[in-house]
Amino acid sequence: MKKTLFSLLAILLMFSCKSPEARKPVTQRSGDYINESIERNKKIVAAEEEQIMKIIEEDSTREYLSSPNGFWYYYNTKDTASTVTPQFGDVVEFDYDLRTLDGRAIYSDEEIPVQSYAMDKEKLFSGLREGLKLMKEGETVTFLFPSHKAFGYYGDKKRIGTDVPVISTVTLKKITQENNNQNN
């Protein structure tokens, strides 16, 4: 009797165990939110680029260049003799300011101390990081960054709000090449 009861109990346990089944979500989301967000961001980028293009069209005194990285710039001071630009790991010293597209100061260069930055090894907003790679020691360049190349949706949580395009004048004071770059 004990054997039969034990066998019956073992068979019952064997068949009562099954692998867990995935439950279906109570609510299903379509891609509507993501699609709406994409469309909203496309409109923001288009509006910001339109503002920047208007500034460029109205300023006939400067030669603006378009970066393949999605921003525009012009040289205030250009070095035509040097060919050295910062590479990965080089340490650059620079100062800069940040202004709105209509020229109002957000942060002046007096408020921002001279920065020391190891290229692509430290955190820096993408437009400025990419802009520094275009510069040579001693040059001053003014960049026009759409918000997605500056501080984007989050801003800087201080003076720069959501989706604010900026103008920044940057002076590259010094490039200290990383040891393995000096041979290049």
Q: For residue 183, what pLDDT band results from cuts at 50, 70 and 90?
A: very low
Q: What is the pTM of this model?
A: 0.80
Q: Are 175 and 137 in contact (CB under 8 A)?
A: yes
- 9 occurs within a structural domain: no
Mean pLDDT, residues 65-74 taken together: 97
- 8 occurs within a structural domain: no
- 13 occurs within a structural domain: no
- 48 occurs within a structural domain: yes
d(CA 135, CA 84): 8
Q: Domain count for the chain, please give it.
A: 1
User: What is the structure's pLDDT at 53?
Assistant: 97
- Could you report the per-residue pLDDT of 130-167, keeping only the tens digit for each? 999 999 999 999 999 999 999 999 999 999 999 999 99
- 64 occurs within a structural domain: yes
- 95 occurs within a structural domain: yes
Nearest to 164 by CA among 106, 115, 95: 106
User: Which uninterrupted H or E stretch holds 172?
Assistant: strand 166-176
User: What is the structure's pLDDT at 148?
Assistant: 96
- 124 occurs within a structural domain: yes
Lowest mean pLDDT among 22-31, 100-109, 170-179: 22-31
Q: Give the CATH number of the domain where residue 59 resides.
A: 3.10.50.40
Q: Which domain holds residue 53?
A: 41-181
- 174 occurs within a structural domain: yes
